[in-house]
Amino acid sequence: MKFAGRRRPARGGTRLGGGPDRAAQRLRNVQHLLHLREAGGPFYGALDLGTNNCRLLIARSAGEGGFQVVDAFSRIVRLGEGLAHTGRLSEAAQVRTLEALRICANKLRFWNVSRMRLIATQACRRAENGPAFLDRVRRELGLELEIIDAETEARLAAMGACPLMEEQARHVLVFDIGGGSTELLWVEHEGGGHRKVRDWISLPEGVVTLSERHGGVDVSERAYAAMRAQVREALAEFAARLQASGLPQRPCHLLGTSGTVTTITGVALGLPRYDRNRVDGAWLSRGQVHEISQRLRLMSLAERMAEGCIGRERADLVVAGCAILEEILEIWPVERIRVADRGLREGILATLMEEDGLPATGKDDKSRQTEDAEHDRATAT
């Protein structure tokens, strides 16, 4: 199993006011993108359509190892909104998602992407009309999305995040809290840079499903406890299975890749707005997770919306993510959590490049530039 690192170019992603400054910045952005495209590819694309988000990365091999992201896009589309009650993707959710996918299609064409993998996860897996929606995407946009199973999703997410495993850590529990599901993988470092997934689980609970069931606006202590209880039994069964396999009761540390853990980290750092360079690779303590989780639960919806690292679109979902993360820490009470603002898309890119014989692995490069534009669109108030 191989793991990828990535490097990001400087992006013109800060929020700008109107007038000449904004026009000049847009011109510089376009010139920068044209320069990157003219520098040559091949370019690779990875799209992740989840229950809550639509995300795209476009990259090329960096040559010496790792890859360089040249363009990116992320938008909260809530494709799975109402799915738990109806079993179907609503028309409104489909329209929102098609709008985001149209932007992705234009970006893929602009970069003349030669190889791509476009995946759909839990919402399309679960919805009765999931395959029909992907047929609609194919007809209207010309994009060929595939529905992947939970195991493939989990392994790709781990592949993208695991460069942040501490080198001396023998056992690490990787988790990905999504909109409609939560994946956990026990990864063992076998030495020589080789890592093996010893066991994994996918829970059909995520921030959207929990919020819709228990509420995400005003979350009482009782509702919060109910969220945690909903995931406790499956987590306990997974922990027992790991122990029965002869694995340690606790990993060396946790490694989290999700909007939940990156959001909590941004709040813990006191960031006025999200900064990927500060968050990706950071460490959280168990005490910080509990303190921030309780603070967010007690906030009003308006107060959560005003948090620079949460914003309007995540304000009613973040508390459910906190409940899942706190329950993970209850079962595996380690003191340290490594935070990864990377995951499934990076795993896809690494796989595509390696299939073509290009170097897509390398040591993590913390000098990468932040991808402000991607997160700003997702958290804009």
Domain borders along the chain are: 6-148+343-379, 165-339
Longest dimension (CA), the chain: 65
Q: Would you state the pLDDT for residue 100?
A: 97
| pLDDT on residue 93 | 96
Comparing C-alpha atoms, which of 80, 81, 331 is closest to residue 229?
331
In whole angstroms, give the CA distance from residue 56 to residue 286: 31
Separation CA 133–CA 376 (nearest Å): 27
Report the 10 Å Cβ neighbour count for 289: 23
Secondary structure of the chain: what % helix, strand, coil (to 5)?
45, 20, 35
What's the pLDDT at 38? Answer: 74
Angle, helices 130-141 vs 91-110, to 10°: value is 40
Q: What is the pLDDT of residue 247?
A: 94
pLDDT at 14: 38
CA distance readout (Å), 181 to 129, 132, 147: 18, 21, 14
Q: How far apart are the first and last CA of the chain?
A: 40
pLDDT at residue 39, rounded to an integer? 73
The pLDDT score that the predictor gives to residue 37 is 75
CATH architecture under which domain 165-339 falls:
2-Layer Sandwich (3.30)
State which residues of the chain have pLDDT below 70. 1-19, 63-65, 192-193, 359-381
Write down the pTM of the prediction.
Answer: 0.82
Q: 272 and 308 in contact (C-beta within 8 Å)?
A: yes
Q: What is the pLDDT of residue 19?
A: 66
Evaluate whether 6-148+343-379 and 165-339 have a shared fold: yes
Residue 244 is predicted with a pLDDT of 95
Class for the domain spanning 6-148+343-379:
alpha beta
